Amino acid sequence: MNAKTICILLASTLCSGIAAAAETPGKSPYPAKPVRVIIGTSASGGTDFTARIFGQKLSDLWGQSVVMDNRPGATGMIGMGMVAHANPDGYTLSIMNVGHLIMTAITEKPPFDPGRDLLPVSIIATTPVMLVVHPSVPARTIQEFIALAKRQPGKMSYASGGIAGVQHMSTELLMQEAKIKLLHVPYKGTGPGLIELIAGQVQLTLTSVPSLMPHVNAGRLRPLAVTGERRVSAAPNVPTFKESGLPGVFVVIWYGLLAPARTPSAIVDRIARSVAEVAAMPDVKERMTRSGAEPVGSKPSEFGPYFRSERTRWVKIAKQANIKPASSR
């Protein structure tokens, strides 16, 4: 090996080392210690389900523990607030859903500004929303359900994971489109609401397909319709709202990964690349598709503009429905 070749190899090695060291302020390759991911929901439902699939795979990729920390409350604002005020070093992240963004957008004086204090890293997955009823409800189609609701306005109750969350907003769209009135019963997360629905304390809910399919398959809940342009492979016999004559009920739940603002771009890009790698894994695709979701893995440059456009869209819908948070805890 001649002197020129040796110099090239040494230069390449040195540059690689510098690039790796630059990923964190401590000059160690990221991540050099366990990463904490705060989930703004209870330990159940679509957000938690998606977060744990990606968390385990990221842990395997990085060779570091990815610790899931459920912090439900205030429709995701508690968990997001913790990340907004965390050290911007990439070791505290948040997985949230579109409903959490809605809540922060319509709260008059939130304890943090999502546009200023949080950095969109990647959309990790998307899923449509499914309408399900308790088996005691005498309706087997969406048309029968609407007719039943019209005969008893305001009497049928629906569970949501919190005021202004995606379940609340989805049901508002349904009520507007079908011209019916339902009674809203908010809970601290999807999980508690589903427990009450299965027990028959409320009659229906609209929420993510992954959180519902185990109960649908077990016969504990009856599906009536699903959002989106096409039926989901996890429930091929369930028609879309569009097929059923309700095209205005169009909702896509997305789950996003956020970091504190001012997190170094090298770290943000590293996380986003890893998320995309996980989303492309065949076993992740198979498991997500079977549950009714779709892994994504977008770039920060893609998620940022979408994050802002979704905020604008849902604020408009919330104003039309006169939805306001109970408090800005």
pLDDT at 325: 65
Domain boundaries in the chain?
33-126+252-320, 128-226
Please tell me the predicted confidence (pLDDT) of residue 3. 45
Q: How many residues does the chain have?
A: 329
- Contacts of range 316-323, beta carbons closer than 8 Å, 24 or more positions apart: 317/169, 317/172, 317/173, 318/102, 318/105, 318/106, 318/164, 318/169, 319/106, 320/176, 321/169, 321/172, 321/176, 323/106, 323/163, 323/164, 323/168, 323/169, 323/172
**Residue 119 CB neighbours (<10 A):** 23
Task: Work out the average pLDDT over 274-294.
Answer: 95
- Give residue-wise pLDDT tens across range 77-133: 899 999 999 999 999 999 998 888 887 877 877 888 888 999 999 999 999 999 999
- Both tokens assigned to 200: 């028959």
May I ask the CATH architecture of the domain 33-126+252-320? Answer: 3-Layer(aba) Sandwich (3.40)
Domain at 128-226: CATH architecture = 3-Layer(aba) Sandwich (3.40)
pLDDT classification of 243: cutoffs 50, 70, 90: very high
CB 166 within 8 A of CB 98: yes
> How would residue 75 be classed by pLDDT, with cut points 50, 70 and 90?
confident
Sequence-distant (≥ 6) Cβ neighbours of residue 151 within 8 angstroms:
none
Give the global pTM. Answer: 0.79
Dihedral in degrees, nearest 10, Cα atoms 159, 239, 309, 186:
0
